[in-house]
Amino acid sequence: MAYATFRSIGAYVPKKILTNEDLATMVDTSDDWITKRTGIKERHIAAKEEFTSDMGVKAAELALLRSGLAKEEIDMVVCATISPDYFCMPSTATVISAKLGLKNVTAFDISAACTGFIYALSIAKAFIESGMKKNVLIIGAEKLSAITDYSDRGTCILFGDGAGSAVISATDNKAEAIIDVHTGADGEYADLLMTPNGGSGSAHDALEQESSSCFMQMKGNETFKVAVRTLTKDVVEILEENGIQSDAIKHFIPHQANYRIIKAVGDALKMKEEQVVLTVAKYGNTSGASIPMAINDIYESGRLQKGELMLLDAFGGGLTWGSALIPFSPK
């Protein structure tokens, strides 16, 4: 049987920085409020002419380079995004494939909001274990600034842009294998976090849509409570099911939505400070890109070493959630 291994990581962050002080000039908020309630200090914002695919390409180029594979060896590209280049088609994954010069690949996007990277991971794992694919490029890329309402202080303080990417490859060495990936969803909570207009379910005629119609809306406090409850249950389950104690986790890498959510789940798992990876202060919430951006951060700072066990978790619109247990296995 083929196993799936997490072979390399890469990320890209756009240059422009939007600080809490900048936001305080745009809406009724303050650095103090944002810092205390979210842990966020700043986020990066893509240039007008910089698309989600452009950021995805930059992250993927790094992941490809670090994988040691030739681009001809990539046989599938999966992009997790809620801010695709185009509304319906082509998918951002196909745009990225073309920009990278990848031929003969299966390419598609998935929509699982902030859990998108973990969903992409589960798809890559399943395709590889079934023998259908050998080297899958997965990408989480978001230009959330394009779907953020900068007059809504409940959401605009949270989100930023960026991309992360990983190469998942086949191996026959079980010690290198991704141990487990959990994914879940409950559409009953769909209205907590959504872009209510702009799709076929919208009450408006397409021609009457205003450009603001695709902005995100969130019931923040309710989302917060469901996030803590659902994530805690899911990470406890994935550890129990695999017989792993939380002290065996070298890096707990949660979706970077809010420091208080990360702290609550980390405390429930009795995680020590040095186990928890935090990038929320400098990137804010980059949805599907946040986990691979965080993995790349500890990789580039030399904190992530071969064989070390990572626990990922994420929660987002849908509602969706997921977790994963992965030994880092670079070539």
**Residue 315 CB, nearest distance to ligand UT7 (Å)?**
6
Contact 162, 58 (CB under 8 A): no
Q: 114, 182, 251, 258: which is the annotated catalytic residue? A: 114
Stretch 88-147 residues interacting with ligand UT7 (CB under 6 A):
114
Q: Is 223 in the site for ligand UT7 (CB under 6 A)?
A: yes
Q: Which stretch binds ligand UT7 (CB under 6 A): 10-18, 103-111, 123-131, 149-157?
A: 149-157
Angle, helix 92-100 to helix 52-67, in steps of 10 degrees: 50
To ligand UT7, the closest distance from the beta carbon of 72 in angstroms equals: 36
- Is 315 one of the binding residues for ligand UT7 (CB under 6 A)? yes
157 to 196: interface string for ligand UT7, x by CB under 6 A: x-----------------------------------x---
- Tokens (6 digits) for 221: 């406090």
Indicate whether 293 belongs to the interface with ligand UT7 (CB under 6 A): no
- Least Å from the CB of residue 297 to ligand UT7: 18
Instruction: Using DSSP, state whether 10 is helix, strand or coil.
Output: strand
Binding mask 247-266 for ligand UT7 (x = CB under 6 A): ----------xx--x-----
Query: By CB neighbour count within 10 A (0-12 exposed, 13-18 middle, 19+ buried), where does 24 fall?
Result: middle
- Please answer whether residues 161 and 142 qualify as being in contact, where contact means their C-beta atoms are separated by less than 8 angstroms: yes
Q: Is 294 in the site for ligand UT7 (CB under 6 A)?
A: no
Told to check if 33 binds ligand UT7 by CB under 6 A, we report yes
Q: Does the annotation count 258 as an active-site position?
A: no
Query: Any catalytic annotation for residue 255?
Result: yes
Tell the smallest beta-carbon distance from residue 12 to ligand UT7 (Å). Answer: 20
Residue from 224, 252, 283, 321 in contact with ligand UT7 (CB under 6 A): 224
Q: Kindly provide the b/e burial profile for residues 85-122, where b requires at least 16 CB atoms within 10 angstroms of the residue's own CB.
A: beeeeebbbbbbbebbebeebebebbebbbbbbbbbbb
Token readout for 160 is 């930023």
Name residue, tokens 């993927």.
60
Q: What is the 3-state secondary structure (H, E, C) of 106-171?
A: EEEEECCHHHHHHHHHHHHHHHHHCCCCCEEEEEEEEEHHHHCCCCCCCCCCCECEEEEEEEEEEE
Q: Which is nearer to ligand UT7, 321 or 328 (CB)?
A: 321
- The span from the CA of 69 to the CA of 91, in Å, is 24
Of the ranges 1-9, 179-187, 219-227, 231-239, which one interacts with ligand UT7 (CB under 6 A)?
A: 219-227
Catalytic member of 20, 135, 258, 285: 285
The one-character DSSP state at 243 is: T
Answer left, alpha or beta for residue 115, where phi above 0 means left and psi between -120 and 50 means alpha. Answer: alpha
Name the segment binding ligand UT7 (CB under 6 A); options: 48-56, 94-102, 180-188, 223-231: 223-231
When asked if residue 38 is in the footprint of ligand UT7 (CB under 6 A), the reply is: yes
Shortest distance (Å) from residue 262 CB to ligand UT7: 10
Q: Per CB under 6 A, which region of 54-62, 72-80, 170-178, 220-228 contacts ligand UT7?
A: 220-228
- Tally of CB atoms within 10 A around 26: 13
Q: What share of the chain is helix, strand, coil (3-state, %, to 5)?
A: 40, 25, 35
Cβ closest to ligand UT7, residue 145 vs residue 169: 145
Look up residue 316 and give its DSSP letter.
Answer: E
Q: What does the binding site for ligand UT7 look like in residue numbers (CB under 6 A)?
A: 29, 33, 37-38, 114, 153-154, 157, 193, 220-221, 223-224, 227, 257-258, 261, 285, 315-316
Active site residues: 114, 255, 285
